[in-house]
Structures are given as structure tokens and as C-alpha cells.
Structure 1
């Protein structure tokens, strides 16, 4: 009781028992694609390369935010194929038991898929030994997915807000209803369904907290109007997008850049606003920036933050260059939304990342480059491989750190790639 709680600005001592009105979900990020020969079975050995953290008012909201924050292409509890299914009840049951009984990075989605296929929660519990409470929460998401598929998107604000409060992203709702995510976004805009931002204060708002540590949630206005605790200022401000969960090729070096960008902006008189979802970083310390949004780095989540920040003060722009590939992929969507991108323009970023455009630029400037070719189909890849000869380095556009890069020694490896 002699130590102050910095989160509440000293309003409570460190001995004050926390009162939590939010749910935190952490999910590890794995990179088994970098190690083709490694076993994907999870054991007591450390195999993850990073992790994502998400915060919401409910477990369902927090879970689905964490899944899309992993940056593995997920939009929520996406469908997954359970290996070994053959259409025979007995064989399928054995395949489900094997999938759920083996701890792998995809087991959470395997559990959801088994529930979709009609496996009872009791059976799922016996197979994976996950606590029934968590299975019931996942089942609630699956049941809501079935309703969305059957009835489509609700056309009223209350029901759409309820879906969003369960953590459904625009992209996931679009997938379930066979629409485009932009259509869902326009529907939300028309119905004025937007998140509010709450403050991490460890005391459930019992005491005022000056700590600028925010997370989003969709609050129902059943007891008056909803209240955002972000307390957006009227200062000139710049938003920095972090790098998300650590992975091979995109790690702490980018966080170092984000932190120093925040320090430099503050020294220059700007309000530095950080957006990130990686709990292992310095950029997500509550005192690194003037305001921290602990949110997934997706276009939907970032645009909602910018919408809130633009309501007051002057948003001079967003910095995407310091967080690695993650924010670079958002540059085009932000520019289309009318958000100023500070530093390198999205077109110049694309020029450097699009191998076709970059190759043509080198040729135009007369600069030397290794013998290479650009393939847009398997047949083109075979033709270019025949011209260049093996071994080859094959790499897609728009990646950092060698992601999806392979050394190809023969046509069989090329076909597999």
C-alpha cells in the first residue's frame, strides 16, 4: 500500500484489488511454414515466434479480434478442413477425434469446425478437454453464424450492433453473407453503428484514470447514450501503425522504429498516437505514446480509430513505414479513405514491392539486375524456369523477411510451390 498504481495516476495503491470489466485474449503466432520439416504438434517446448493480444467486453468479442489480429488471413473463426473426413460416420468421428485430440496451432478452429458439423459439446469436451465454458462461447459464435447465413445481415442498428459486439468483423460478415466487406461497412455507416473506445484502468471506471490505453467495443445504448473514453484532444496529431505480432522477418526492430517515431513526434509538438496489438513490444507500453489503441491492424479497425481521432483536432496523417509489411498493406485502403500518408506515398511503396513494376523501372533506368522473370501463372513459371535454369529463388510480391520465399531445385519443387 506504499506504492501507487500508475494506471490510475496514483488514485489507488498497488495493493488495491483490480476490478476488471474487459476480457483479454492472447493467441500465439506460429511460423511452421518456415520450417517444412518441423512437427506442428504443440508440446512443452516453445514453438511460437510471437503472439497477439486483443481486448473486448466479452470473451467472444475478444477472441474474434485476436484471431483477425494474428494476420494469418483469418477474419474470425473461419472454416477449416478437418483432415481424414471420408463421409463415413465412424471414420469421420475418428478423424475429428484425432484432430481435436492433438494440440496444433489450428486446434481452436478445428473445435469450431467440429461443432459446425454437429458434434455435441460433450463429445468435443471429451476429445480435446477444453473447459465446457469456452466451448459454449465458441458454440454461441457458430450458432450466430448459422443464423447470419440463413437470414442475412440485419437491417436495423440494434441487431447489427449485437453482431459486432460478438466480435464479427465486416470481412467475416461479408463472407457469411457472400458480400463484399465494403457493403457491410456502408451498412454500418448508414445505421451509425460504430465502436466506442474504453480505457484500461484496472478499476472498472470506479476512479478516474489518466492512462491513455484504449480498446474498442460495440456498446448497446440501453441506459442512455454510449460513451467513448478516448477523450480525443484538439491538438495536432499523427498516428503510427505498429507491426502486429512478431514473426520471422518482422520483429522487434520495427517496434524500435515505431517507438522512436513516437518520441520524435512528441519532441516536435505533435500528439503521437500508436496502434498495435502485440503485447511483447515497447510501443504498447501505456507511456510510450500520448494515446495507445490496442487493436488489430486491419483496415476496418484502423479506419474506425482514425474516424474517432478526426472528430477533434487536426490529424496530420498516418505513418505506415515503421511497422514492417503489416501497415504497408493498409496504405492503399487508408489513402482511398482520404487519410494522408506521411513519408513515402502508397504508389511509391507499391513501386518498390510490385516486382513487375520494379523490374520495368530498373530496365528503364538501365540499372543492372540478376536474370529474372515475372510469372502470373503456373505455365509462365515453368517457361521462365526453363529459360533461367535451376536452381531458382522464387518469391512473391508484397512480402518482407523472406516470407513464402523458396530455393527451387527442380520442376517438381516448382509445381509444389
Structure 2
């Protein structure tokens, strides 16, 4: 369950409350109506002990069997939050991993200040690492012989040996506007090229509707969550030669720098260069430094500073989170009330990365340029023009190539 929730979006830590319901009536109303947010209401009711399993069942009609499994996850949380890392036993650590807790979650739950790496080092010191298992595609009628793999702590040995090398390609995860089939095409093209060049290829992805999750496409396919922790698990276990993050869209880009900092070899564009482009503050500052004109902008430091900026330049303003290709939480605000709402959404998506607010130019033509560089030289490029005015996300817009209103200049 926890792994599945993280696969929906990296901002979801697991089975735990999110956007807390302030009153019991609000909580019960969310439980009563099936939506994509009901799971958080169940988590809140169980974590805060405001409703029993029987009461949740009565409202939701979810079978007791499933609710009891969710309750077991919470019981492990309750045990973790009463101990420190130094006092965490091997049995408790293993139980937490079997219950689907990520290292990052455990670091946040334990008493004291710990990092994800603190938890990772502790559990590896205990000899607690996930095992690789094959997904049975033959309904147990014959021995499974596919390279369709996943990792689990519910096992005593792996079904397959270490790959002992090869290149990992990270896929795009869940489809969404601006991060969809184009990245599947990129991932598959990368895998096929690697194999033609004689490299052993490994794909990590979890969307069953993609071509990249066809186990015939690569030498190894891990149907797994796209997190720093899991990529590190696979990278270290398979003794991989490197990781390609540039063909999977936003999620791989988001973990490029953390993987680089952990010692993973990032192939292609270096992680610090990805960060320079994805970090809104660094990118806007770089444009100012080289003299490229851009709308007035400011890094968000507080809600009041954003309101002051909007009052200075005038509405509308554009709120831009960092590390977002899909347009998530990138909004145009036309008044103070809208701006406050946009800032809350952007802070959740951007998390510890900068959020930039800038003047929004109305009626502007939007032009996109995609290029491929090698050794400091641009070797391929395309320029296309949006039919809609600037402000409509490329995933929703109509684009024309070549541009039809631009001058040669």
C-alpha cells in the first residue's frame, strides 16, 4: 500500500495523514464519499485514533480485512515514534520495511533528528536489504523465466543474481499532462540504443501501459517506485555502471542531484547542470547574469513578500515551483486570494526547492526551442510556436513547427 501511494506522486510519503481535516464531521464526510483523498482520511482517523476500524468500515463499507492491514501499518508507526535510531532494534527496522516504510519516512517518525542516509546506513548495518523477485507471468503453471522484477523485504533470498554491471534507465512513472507518452518513447529509444551499442540495459518504471515496461525491451525490468532509495538499492545490488535520468521526465530529474550526491554515476547531462536549469531561482539568476530579458521576478521567501511583489508589479503574476515539467502548481494569480492559494499549492509540490513569482505578460506569444548539445556545440534544434497565448501549458496547447509568425531574426 505505501509503495503504491508513493508511485502516484513523489510528494506522497505513504499511508499517513495529508492536508488534515479539522473537524470530525469533515473527516466523516471525506470517508463517506469515495475520492482519491479518502485514503488520507482513513490514515488520519487511524493515526489520531478518532475512529475505530468498525466505525470506518460502517462509513466506507471497506472490508475489515483491508482496514486491519492498514491498522497494522499504523501500529508500526506508533512503535517507531517512541524510540530513537540508536534504540531501534533489527526486528523493528525489518518490520518497518516490511510494512512499506521508506527510509525517509522512518527518519521523520523516530524521536530525534535523522536523515534518510542515517536510516539507510543503520538498516544496511543490520543486513536489511531488499530481495529481488520475479513477477510470475505464467500463473504458477510453469517456472517463471522472465526478467520482470520487483524488490521486497518479504523474502529470504533473491530469485535472480546481481546483473553485475549495465546501465540503468529511469522511466517516467505515472502519466500526466506534460509527462506522458513522449517520455516513454524517449526511454524505449534509449534502451534500444544501449543494447545496440552492446550495453546491458535495465529499466526502472511502474506504469504497465508503457512500452518501456515490456520486459522484452530490456535486459532487466524493475517494476518499482522511482525514488532515491530504490534506485540506490538496484544500483548497488546490480553493480551498475551508471544511470540515465534525462529521458524519463520530471521524476528522474527530481532525484538526479540526490543520486549524484550519493555517489551514483549520472550519464549524460551532469546533475549540477540539471539543477541549474530546474531550480527556478538559479535559472532566473543565470538569465540576469548573461543579460537575457525576462519579466520581473523574485524568489519567494514568505507569503507577505509575494503579496508585496504583486502589489509592486501589478496582477496578474505567475507562480513557478522548481523541478516541474508537467506544469503542476504553476499558476497565474489575478488577486491576493488566488495568490495565497497558488502559493500553498506550489510549496507542497516544490517542497524544499525554491518557488519564484514573476510578472505575467498578457497576450504574449509563446515560443519553445529544444536542442541537443554535445561538447559545448548545438548539434540539433527545433523551434515551435504555440497557437494559444503564453499561459496555456504545452501539454494542453497546440504547437506549430516551424513557427509561422516569427521573423528570421
Q: Deviations over 1:35-78 (max 9, x none)?
A: xxxxxxxxxxxxxxxxxxxxxxxxxxxx1111122225222211
Q: Give the conservation status (yes or no) of the 8 Å contact 2:131–2:158.
A: yes
Following superposition of structure 1 onto structure 2, how do residues 397-416 of structure 1 map, counting pairs within 5 Å? Answer: 397-416=322-341
Following superposition of structure 1 onto structure 2, how do residues 8-407 of structure 1 map, counting pairs within 5 Å? Answer: 63-80=1-18, 83-85=21-23, 92=24, 94-116=25-47, 117-152=49-84, 155-178=88-111, 179-202=114-137, 207-219=142-154, 226-234=156-164, 236-310=165-239, 315-407=240-332
Q: Distance in 1 between matches of 2:95 and 2:337?
A: 50
Q: Distance in 2 between matches of 1:97 and 1:329?
A: 35
Q: Deviations over 1:160-198 (max 9, x none)?
A: 222211211112212221433222112112112100100
Q: Deviations over 1:322-366 (max 9, x none)?
A: 111101111111111211111111111111112222223223322
TM-score normalised according to structure 2 size: 0.77
Q: Shift in Å at residue 204 of structure 1?
A: 7.8
1:273 partner SS: strand
Q: Shift in Å at residue 207 of structure 1?
A: 4.4
Q: Give the conservation status (yes or no) of the 8 Å contact 2:278–2:323.
A: yes
- Give the corresponding residue for 1:21: none
Where do 5+ consecutive residues of structure 1 fail to align? 1-62, 86-91, 221-225
4+ residue runs over 6 A deviation: none
For this pair of structures, how many residues does the alignment match?
A: 338
Q: Distance in 2 between matches of 1:348 and 1:96?
A: 44
1:373 partner SS: strand
CA spacing shift, 1:347–1:72, aligned 2, 3 Å: closer
Q: Distance in 2 between matches of 1:96 and 1:367?
A: 50
Q: Deviations over 1:121-151 (max 9, x none)?
A: 2221110000111011111111222122234
* Superposition RMSD in Å: 2.1
Q: Distance in 2 between matches of 1:402 and 1:299?
A: 22
Where do 5+ consecutive residues of structure 2 fail to align? 343-409
Hey, which of these two has a bigger chunk of strand by percent? 2
Q: Give the conservation status (yes or no) of the 8 Å contact 1:78–1:109.
A: yes
CA spacing shift, 1:409–1:134, aligned 2, 3 Å: same
Q: Distance in 2 between matches of 1:377 and 1:120?
A: 39
Q: Distance in 1 between matches of 2:96 and 2:141?
A: 28
Structure with larger RCO (C-alpha < 8 A, sep 6+): 1
Q: Give the conservation status (yes or no) of the 8 Å contact 1:274–1:293.
A: yes
